[in-house]
Amino acid sequence: MSIAITTQFICFTALSLVVIIGALGVVLLESIVYSAFLLGGVFLSVAGLYLLLNASFVAAAQVLVYVGAVNVLIIFAIMLVNKKEDLKPINDIKSRRVISTSICLTLLSLLIRVDLTNVWSLSSPQYSIGEESTIRIGEHLFSDYLLPFEVASVLLLMAMIGAIVLARRDVMSKDISTGLPVDQELIEKSSEPLLTNKN
């Protein structure tokens, strides 16, 4: 085995382990903040896997979109709503866990079966386009994948308008879910006065 292949193998093993353990941690950990940070780690390792596949543009886009935007927004939302809330204990938690685990295992076995039965048409390494892939992605986005691309952007636009309507407090004077008058103050306010009179 040459040095390049050994390095690639070590990188692949490490990245896969991080993806699997990190993803398990996202699901199993009690603390929502840890889950959110681990999710960022999983996204980064997936970007690493793309790099190993010579898809550097996809890897950078993965980091920019998933780590830099999606994950930061998730963490941002968790911290902005940083409420210490005691959740009600659920009675039949054990049976729920069993059901969800079995559903997940079924999906996993289905995926493994697809992976094993399907014949993948892998191109040999000397045909990989490497650095040229940026240009190819651009060409595809503006020719045969133009319609899906535009549909996705319209969908995002709709989601954005919806979010703006929900977030702007002067659009609606009442909270949609509770019907209470909304509080018009700044978001960045402390929940308790900074200088409390202790004596």
Chain positions contacting other proteins, by CB under 8 A: 2-4, 33, 37, 40, 44, 56-57, 60-61, 63-64, 67-69, 71-73, 75-76, 79-80, 82, 130-132, 134, 188, 190
Smallest gap, in angstroms, from Cβ of residue 173 to other proteins? 22
Nearer to other proteins, 18 or 63 (CB): 63
Torsions phi, psi for 147 (to 5 deg): -65, -50
Amino acid at the residue 81? V
Q: What is the length of the chain?
A: 199
HSE of 66, CA atoms in CB hemisphere, 13 A: 18
Nearer to other proteins, 21 or 75 (CB): 75
Smallest gap, in angstroms, from Cβ of residue 89 to other proteins? 25
Smallest gap, in angstroms, from Cβ of residue 172 to other proteins? 22
Nearer to other proteins, 4 or 93 (CB): 4
Which residues, including other chains, have CB under 8 Å from residue 127's CB and lie 6 or more apart? Answer: none
Residue 99, both tokens = 């059901």
User: For residue 34, which of 5, 74, 70, 87 has the smallest C-alpha distance?
Assistant: 74
Nearer to other proteins, 99 or 171 (CB): 171
Smallest gap, in angstroms, from Cβ of residue 130 to other proteins? 7
User: For residue 191, which of 76, 83, 85 has the smallest C-alpha distance?
Assistant: 83
Helix (H, G, I), strand (E, B) or coil at 194: coil
Nearer to other proteins, 103 or 160 (CB): 160
Smallest gap, in angstroms, from Cβ of residue 40 to other proteins? 5
Smallest gap, in angstroms, from Cβ of residue 79 to other proteins? 6
Provide DSSP, 75-142. Answer: HHHHHHT----PPPPPTTHHHHHHHHHHHHHHHHHHHHHHHHHS---PPPGGG--GGGHHHHHHHHHT
